[in-house]
Chains A and B, each alone.
Chain A
Amino acid sequence: MADPRRYSLPCILFCAMLLSLPGHLISQADTIDIPEVTVTASRVNGWQPGQDQRSIDSLQLSFLKTENLSEALRRQGGIYVRDYGAGNIATAAVRGTAAGHTAVLWNGLPLQDPMLGLSDLSILPLFLFDEARLALGGGSSLWGSGALGGAIHLGSRLEQKGGGSLSYQGEGGSFGYLGQGLRLNCGGSRFSNSTKLFLQSADNDYPYQDIFGAERRLPHAGNRQMGALQENIFRFSRRHQVGVYLWAHRAGRDIPPSRVQPASQAHQEDEALRAALDWKWAGARSSWITRLAAFRNRLRYDDPLTNTHSDSRTRSVLAEAEGTRNLFPGLDVKGGLQFNYLEARSDVYPGLPRQGRWAVFSALRWENPGRQWLAVISGRQEWVDGKAIPFTPSLSLRWKKGMGFEAGLSASRNYRLPTFNDLYWPNVGNPNLRPEEGWNQSLYLKMGKQWGAWKGQAQLSGFNYNVEDWIMWLPEGGLFRPENVRQVWSRGGSAQLRLVRQLGRGRLTAEGNYSYTRSTNERSRRASDPAVGQQLIYVPLHQGSASLSWQRGGWYLSYLQEWAGRTYILSDNSEALPGFSVGALRLSRGWSWKLFSGRVYVKVENLWGENYELVANRPLPGRYYRVGINLEWNKTH
């Protein structure tokens, strides 16, 4: 086991040295702005205007680059990250839905595993993405299966101006953590390339207490992951461009015992190879995008203690064509056709399950000449192995008044197809399962105002989701099998506030968000089921976070507090994880010299040493430290 302090002293000395260097303000944007477009080939941006979409603050993101997506989503309102800790599986549930109800999309391509129907956020390192955006609300009319509660969009920005940049980010700290990434961006008007290499490892041997009261260090919790992502864009003319994207990823994780187990020998290996090709054509009034993507995933799980060994490989191919045409000023129409082939070869399945899905989708977008109103209606019809599933329409509406006020409204029908495990698990898989589906409605109000040196932004949002045919694995006729049993009603709202004040040459930012989620089980097989009417497990009723940041010259200092109320772990709500409140402190110093820039940062996570869990009996680390450095050479014309 590595000494958790082994990186601390040299790192602190190094940081102290760097912090004392003179520096200039490194310009850093507050949030990643998604450019708004009138005619765009892709439906990734601009086609759900009435939805509450949240980009992750780029300054906060810069502290998390060597970490995984789960860390960035934790402090966003309206989402509960079910994190098993120590680099193990982490999933996100949006607005009181389940983990499989959030689509995770990479440049619009779904990353969910067909066997589990989930994406493991622990093996999606933030270093590989320049953009991470959370869309709250259903998106099945555009994204198909899985986008029932919300969607997470991941993407990159490629250099178009000409020139290049090379950057390195490295971070080390407690419990043997080391994360490193190298990014090369280069390009010009004809060709752009972005290459990212990433490596992360940790021992995760943090102290915890087992349920019998013994103080221990988490054993068998080490992990290591590496990834390489290359994105190339060839621009043949002003109208044509071809993109080639390649992503290879590998993660090996020891799975530690839970607090109730004395030991574990389980180990998991994940491998993914993803390749995508797109061709875009943009005319004066029309644009086209066609894409082809092929993904291969392999998941190996070995547990000598429970004699469990599985080796599962999934393959998927996605082909789609999407066209947009401007009919009249302010009126665009979009149409698309998609084919998705999925296949799983696993030693847990007797056969070779495969599925072919065809879908057509269409959307109409209208914007009034004054650009106050933007409305999109869209719909999608999908056929799974030739069988039609329910049509999913959507309406999304946004109204802006002046610079400060904005309101959005959306209503949509959404679905999630049963997973391969639901359908094909030996003896108990249920091929007659229906998709989980339901309607959701949401609205938001955004206000912005400036008073003297103060600038404020506030947002309120509300939602109402109904999900029918929610799939549960339950004892049924003597077998433990999946059934379309549950009906869930989730409703709630959130409030966000951001205040910025200029203080001489410095800037003070205060942010806070609170969300309330009431998600209840409305129907069961039996009337006497004690779970009926109760809050779903792992959906806290109350959740919030707040931060206070100060920025001046090359300095940045931030304090964050994350908070959640109690979270039920039994469906009859007779047991709950206690609420928690976790603080974090982050300090960075940036400087630049000619074409070089750099930044060094220190993080203290779980500052007050809160003993808490996001999943029952999966301990999370107490206070821990990280130091990181970011170096960049940038030569853009």
Chain B
Amino acid sequence: MRISLLLALAATLWLSNCNNDDETPNPTGNLVEAGAGVLAINEGGFNDGNASVSYYQFEDGALQQDLFAEANGRPLGDILQSMTLVGDKGYLVLNNSQRVEVVDITTFESEGVIEIPGSPRYFLPLDNGLAYVSDLFGSVVHLVDLSEGAVVQGIAMPQGWTEQMVKAGDVVFVTCPTSFGQAPNRQLYVIDTESHTLVDSVDVGFSPTALVQDAGGMIWVLCSGDFDLGAPGGLYQLDPLDKTVLRSFPFPDNNIGFAPRLAIDEAGQQLYYTKIDLYTLPVDANALPSEPVIPADGRDLYGLGIEPGAGNIWLGEAGDYKSRQMIYRYSKDGSLLDSALAGVAPSGFYFY
């Protein structure tokens, strides 16, 4: 009896050893491996509490849903507006849950929560343990002390809606799209990161929405235009040192879509933007492209991201915000490589 028990135990151990390799690829509990895939953030439906992060693995095209719930056994929150990667940490901004969830990017385990009183949108780390968080309704940029995990100051802004931010030297450029029912805004705002005060503004186009920095350090701003005035938006390049607009590329029409996106490739040489369809533009171009690289074909393009290395283009689809939707991987010349069903309203792509 005792011998048979021992044999059974030995056999079990041996079998479990044999199976280790193929059944548990992440014995350490890691869900995300550096360079092995793309993190797609799914905004979720308003008040549905179904924001999530999906992980697509390049090797076999497998898609893992809702990394956060998998790692932490609870939902992530409501309206995942953006994610910022800083080293091995991910800062997930949950707009309607009024919080930033800090995770270890490899295990996706929660390392803390920063509560943001307001309607947080984007997170920008500064060098000295501080970060800025923009706000949809608050006429404010929140200053967060990362060691305390709390908002320590509100930087008053002249516009109701603060959106994307880019740091260049000692200043941060902040886009402020025109808020619903407010006077049209054309200014890109500048905050000094020493004094945390608004120091300057630059006139660009109507409703500055998204911005990126190119290889030469120049700032590119995507403006959405003004629907009421019928004024189209455009792309604007400006020099962050003297804060002058170097080049303007106004769009031919006002048909921009409800979620215009702007991204740049790893080398900082090629811009990608959505204006219903997806267009691309080298940073040294002299004119806007006339043809899209990827037509929307009836889809409502939502998330946009450019894969480092190969420069593949990732797009998400909005759908009705009430169902899981597709994400697409295209080569940089616009041929479809793969697609997968992600979460609700896939709105962005991040590469670790």
A residues bordering B, Cβ < 8 Å?
A: 211-213, 258-263, 305-307, 427, 472, 474-480, 525-526, 528-531, 537, 569-572, 574-575, 616-618
Contacts and interface: CB of A to CB of B under 8 A. Distances in A.
A261 B96 contact: yes
Given A305-B119, A307-B137, A617-B48, A212 B77 contact: yes
A525 B299 CA distance: 10
9 contacts: A259-B49, A305-B137, A427-B227, A476-B300, A528-B326, A529-B319, A529-B323, A575-B50, A616-B47
Most buried by A among B75, B96, B319: B319
Contact of A212 (B74, B117, B258): B74
A39 B47 CA distance: 52
B338 to A, nearest CB: 16
A616 B49 contact: yes
A478 B228 contact: no
B74 A477 contact: no
B150 to A, nearest CB: 14
Contact of B324 (A477, A479, A530): A530
B322 A571 contact: yes
Given A213-B74, A305-B119, A525-B298, A258 B324 contact: no
A531 B323 contact: yes
Contacts of A478: 255-258, 276, 300
Nearest to B341: A530
B78 A570 contact: no
B77 A260 contact: yes
B258 A260 contact: no
A531 B341 CA distance: 13
B75 A570 contact: no
Interface centre among B97, B136, B256, B326 (most CB of A within 10 A): B97
A262 B100 CA distance: 13
A475 B97 contact: no
Interface string B132-158: 000011000000000000000000000
B320 A571 contact: yes
A611 to B, nearest CB: 15
A529 B300 CA distance: 12
Contacts of B117: 263
A63 B47 CA distance: 33
B98 A263 contact: yes
A529 to B, nearest CB: 7
A530 B49 CA distance: 20
Interface in B306-345: 318-320, 322-326, 341, 344
A55 B290 CA distance: 65
B97 A262 contact: yes
Interface residues of B, number: 41
Contacts of B268: none
Contacts of A477: 255, 276
Contact of A570 (B74, B255, B318, B322): B322
Nearest to A572: B323
Contacts of A569: 48, 322
A537 B322 CA distance: 9
Contact of A260 (B78, B160, B324): B78
A616 B49 CA distance: 8
A458 B74 CA distance: 46
Contacts of B97: 211-212, 260-262
Interface in B193-241: 227-228
B162 to A, nearest CB: 13
Contact of B78 (A261, A263, A480, A618): A261
Residue from A259, A525, A571 whose CB has the most chain B CB atoms within 10 Å? A571
Interface in B45-95: 45, 47-50, 74-75, 77-78
B98 A570 contact: no
Contact of B47 (A427, A574, A617): A617
A529 B320 CA distance: 9
B52 to A, nearest CB: 11
Contacts of A571: 320, 322-323
B222 to A, nearest CB: 14
Contacts of A262: 97-99, 115
A260 B47 contact: yes
Contact of B344 (A260, A427, A570): A570
A6 B136 CA distance: 41
Contacts of B325: 530
B250 interface: no
Given A258-B47, A427-B227, A427-B228, A474 B320 contact: yes
A211 B96 CA distance: 12
A574 B96 contact: no
Contacts of B257: 478-479
Given A476-B300, A570-B324, 18 more contacts: A211-B77, A258-B47, A258-B49, A260-B48, A260-B78, A261-B97, A305-B118, A305-B119, A475-B318, A477-B255, A478-B256, A480-B258, A525-B298, A526-B298, A570-B344, A571-B320, A574-B324, A617-B78
B106 interface: no
A529 B137 CA distance: 33
A260 B95 CA distance: 10
B323 A479 contact: no
Interface in B20-63: 45, 47-50
A570 B319 CA distance: 11
B343 to A, nearest CB: 9
B230 to A, nearest CB: 11
B229 to A, nearest CB: 12
A449 B257 CA distance: 64
Contact of B74 (A211, A261, A474, A574): A211
Contacts of A616: 47-49
A295 to B, nearest CB: 28
A472 B276 contact: no
B324 A475 contact: no
A525 B276 CA distance: 17
Nearest to B115: A262
B179 interface: yes
Nearest to A537: B322
Pick the 10 closest A-B CB pairs, nearest first. Answer: A478-B257, A260-B78, A572-B323, A475-B300, A260-B49, A307-B137, A571-B323, A571-B322, A258-B47, A211-B75
A182 to B, nearest CB: 38
Contacts of A306: 119, 136-137
Nearest to A258: B47
Contacts of A476: 300
A307 B179 contact: yes
Contacts of A259: 49
B324 A572 contact: yes
A555 B168 CA distance: 79
A305 B97 CA distance: 12
A475 B258 contact: yes
Nearest to B256: A478
A157 to B, nearest CB: 41
Contacts of B78: 211, 258, 260-261, 617
A258 B256 CA distance: 32
B50 A472 contact: no
